[in-house]
Structure 1
Amino acid sequence: MEIPQATVESIEAAVRKLAGPDAGELRLPAPSKFMSFFADAGLLQLVISWARKSADGRARFDGIDSSDGGFTGKLETLLGRPYALAAWVMAKVLTDTNGKRIGRSEGRVYTNYLDAMDEFDFPRTHPSREGVNLLCVQGSSREFIRPFYEGSDGDRKLRQFGEIRVVVQAALAHIAQEWPARKLLDISEAATQLTRELIENSDWWARADERGVFYSKGIRAITFRLVDVDDELVEQFSGNNTHVRNFLIQSLAEDAVRHPALGSDKKKDLRQLSFVELSIVDSGPGLARRWLSSGAEDKRQVADVWELSIEEEEAAVISCFRKWATSSGDTNRGIGLFAVARLLRKRNGFLRLRTGRLSFLFGTRSAISDIERRLTLEKKDVSQAYLRLEDGTHVFMEDGKMLFFLRAWTSEALGAVEGTSFSILLPA
């Protein structure tokens, strides 16, 4: 089975094939130069899901010949993509393009990446200037990377907000070197809040399975990417999702800077806007299984989401977003995902959530207006904290007003993935 082209639609098609006869070997071609929004997180989750399902899985790195003099350089470029590094860590067997086995310590490339992450050397964590990758590799000697964690090996804890803000600012300064200081501070404030909330959530939900047994191998990834989108690139970056397309078009219409039509086939001025894409991906059991084993009133362990009906799984995921809901056992927690959604509304952000057999989105001012209109048309009791509209949209209320919503990413049935991914777009 080959890693697909970097669009969400092709990745979802590959997820559905994970149960098929060709899923024993995963082929990883050279990285694509173009990746649509949310594809990076989708590819990482695809590899994680494949590794969890394939006890004897072989990861074949196509285009990389271990006997070739350029082996180390090519491997370095490939492992700069989180999905490839996840395959390197989690696959049972690694081979080159000719099927020859590769040792995990080959060329020290993997160790060099851990060094770069641990030493705050962000330019070395991604093969291009447009991204920064920070990965915690469970089962390795350095699971808790220093940029986000402090303390001794036996007592690691997430750094305070101010310290993480310095890290996020440094990451953004690397990928957005032309930004003035005021803009860097403004975007990093929001990105830091989202990063810290979601990392903390991932730490609680992702390191152990539904029984509470720690995984021997796993990944928790935080990635930053800066993408410039203009009128002619909307279709490419949005794929087939009309909600993403509407979000990009609306953002361009309201916040973009107009540039002369140099190099444009349409011979007219183009609107252009930068987006920070922030993704948090983990290799845990997923939101529904973790909630049912730790947070639900009637707790039970579910080894596979296929044991649940779609309705049961959806109800469990939505429970994670209810204000003050927690599965950690810590009564001081429980506001994390709710706070993330609140901040997205404030910053006009867009979210894609993928977990189990479900995918949801939040975003676009037009969708918000539509939902507010539906609340009136369907005569909903807006004093309630949570409402479900007739079209299946989940609406979360605060003080009689809609705070945020979760709407299905697609009407098509999705394959099951391991872990949870949150991918967020922030207009910059």
Structure 2
Amino acid sequence: MASGAEARDRLAQTAMYDRVESALNLVNERKSGLTVPNKWAFEARVGGSVSGAQLAITWSRRNEPEATLYLNNDVEPELAAKTLLDRTYGLIAASFADRIIGRDGARDVSASMLRRVANRLNELYTGRFDEIIHGQSLPLVSIDHLERAGPNPFLYHARTGEVLGDFTGLVRQALDRLIQRNRLRIEDVDVGLLASLFRELFSNTHLHARTDLEGALYRRSARGIVFALRPVDIPHDSFAAGLPVLKEYIESMEREAARPRVEFLEVSVFDSGPGLAARTLRSVVPADLPIEREYELVQKCFLKTYTSVSNPAHGWGLPRVMHALKSSGGFMRLRTGRLSLCKWFPPGMKDPRVTADDLQFMDIGGGSPKRHARVEGAVFTILIPVGLGN
């Protein structure tokens, strides 16, 4: 196998979770360049775009200060840059690269691509939702090292720079745009629950995205939410993208749904921080630490009494996420450190109180937690079923 700058990791347009995990294994083994698709079917799968963003962040950290992104030639030349940057994973890959090489494999196009990145960020920070929505998803990102006029105003107060205290207006505005394209009615959606999920998930990821374990600012840092509407015809194996537990969850809806199509609202967040276990441990997770111990460190983050920061106002975000998940009959996937965990609940539970048993997570492949390739930051993906009774 080639080493150093000669090694390149290239994801095909058909790549799903398994190929992303394979790429992460390679990224952890040696230095390499990276090529991602301009068009990627994985983006339309649950958590696909944020998983691609996490891959790009992990690759960048393993290769800096020589992280080289090679542009793909899978679309027409005049559409390539826009196609890539319209997608969250593509925007993050370009923003976190030290150098960007053109489709010919030789020409340095870093300067022109960064100008396009700046234009795309301006669109995302100032545009209307009907312009920002890509397909059935709304990307809301904040990329610290490229922000010249302050953080994303859809997520932060322009004056104070604090995370918005209430996301209800944003969620309702986003739903108005997304639901226009489907038969779903806004009356079928618990807007308050979604706004709470936005607030808790993004506040949690905001705390951990920008600084390392010593409190120093990262050279590059980002975080974001992808809010999406995912209509699924049940059963639909391809929607699960090869994840057995997700397939099982989708199939469980067949008993509850009044019609063969179920709409899921997806709330996915990502960040570029050290990861949940490292924050809890307050140090880098040693390579020889048993995976069971890393799992315990992550599980601790979901306890009501635990917080990794000194501010007493914090420490309730992830417990509240679990309560919302159980109340709605939702699905969660968490990818952090060497763990890929999931949890789901059937809809219509009479008692949504979160118990100790509810904090027992499965490996994404089923069974007890297993060791996966190490990643930077954390990715949460939440699915909420809506309109089951229609």
Query: Deviation at 1:106?
Result: 3.9
Q: Do the aligned partners of residues 42 and 256 (structure 1) sit closer, same or farther apart at CA in structure 2, a change above 3 Å counting?
A: farther
Q: Do the aligned partners of residues 136 and 251 (structure 1) sit closer, same or farther apart at CA in structure 2, a change above 3 Å counting?
A: same
8 A Cα contact 1:6 1:36, kept in partner: no
Q: Do the aligned partners of residues 427 and 26 (structure 1) sit closer, same or farther apart at CA in structure 2, a change above 3 Å counting?
A: same
Q: How does 1:97-176 map to 2 (within 5 A)?
A: 97-99=103-105, 100-106=107-113, 108-126=115-133, 128-140=134-146, 141-142=148-149, 144-152=151-159, 155-161=160-166, 164-176=167-179
Query: Deviation at 1:74?
Result: 2.5
Q: 1:277-325: per-residue Cα shift (whole Å, max 9, x none)?
A: 11000010000111111xxxxxxx32x5525332332221111111121
Query: Which residue is 2:247 aligned to?
Result: 245
1: CA distance, partners of 2:297 / 2:140: 29
Query: Deviation at 1:228?
Result: 1.3
Q: Do the aligned partners of residues 320 and 107 (structure 1) sit closer, same or farther apart at CA in structure 2, a change above 3 Å counting?
A: closer
Query: Which residue is 1:291 aligned to?
Result: 280
Q: How does 1:368-383 map to 2 (within 5 A)?
A: none
Query: Deviation at 1:82?
Result: 1.1
Instruction: Please identify the structure whose Cα radius of gyration is greater.
Output: 1
8 A Cα contact 1:135 1:221, kept in partner: yes
* 1:84 counterpart = 2:73: no
1: CA distance, partners of 2:84 / 2:258: 33
* 1:57 counterpart = 2:39: no
Q: How does 1:227-266 map to 2 (within 5 A)?
A: 227-232=230-235, 234-257=236-259
User: Residue 363 of structure 2 aligns to which amino acid in structure 1?
Assistant: A
Query: Deviation at 1:247?
Result: 0.9
Query: Which residue is 1:205 aligned to?
Result: 208
Query: Which residue is 1:47 aligned to?
Result: 56
Query: Deviation at 1:24?
Result: 1.3
Query: Deviation at 1:340?
Result: 0.2
Report the secondary structure of 1:29's partner residue.
coil
Query: Deviation at 1:75?
Result: 1.1
8 A Cα contact 1:288 1:316, kept in partner: yes
User: Residue 221 of structure 2 aligns to which amino acid in structure 1?
Assistant: G
User: Residue 297 of structure 2 aligns to which amino acid in structure 1?
Assistant: A
User: Residue 418 of structure 1 aligns to which amino acid in structure 2?
Assistant: E
8 A Cα contact 1:61 1:96, kept in partner: yes
Aligned mate of 1:351, from 332, 335, 339 = 332
Aligned mate of 1:189, from 178, 188, 192 = 192
8 A Cα contact 1:137 1:143, kept in partner: no
8 A Cα contact 2:150 2:158, kept in partner: no
8 A Cα contact 2:28 2:373, kept in partner: no
Query: Which residue is 2:301 aligned to?
Result: 320
1: CA distance, partners of 2:149 / 2:226: 18
Q: Do the aligned partners of residues 360 and 107 (structure 1) sit closer, same or farther apart at CA in structure 2, a change above 3 Å counting?
A: closer
User: Residue 94 of structure 2 aligns to which amino acid in structure 1?
Assistant: W
2: CA distance, partners of 1:406 / 1:329: 27
Query: Deviation at 1:397?
Result: 2.1
Q: Do the aligned partners of residues 166 and 62 (structure 1) sit closer, same or farther apart at CA in structure 2, a change above 3 Å counting?
A: same
Matched length: 366
Q: How does 1:2-17 map to 2 (within 5 A)?
A: 2-4=10-12, 5-17=14-26
Structure 2 gap segments, 5+ residues each:
1-8
Q: 1:148-198: per-residue Cα shift (whole Å, max 9, x none)?
A: 11143xx4111121xx21112222222221443423xx3432221111101
Structure 1 gap segments, 5+ residues each:
258-270, 294-300, 373-394
* 1:420 counterpart = 2:378: yes
Q: 1:337-360: per-residue Cα shift (whole Å, max 9, x none)?
A: 001001100000100001000111
Report the secondary structure of 1:339's partner residue.
helix
- Normalised by the length of structure 2, the TM-score is 0.86
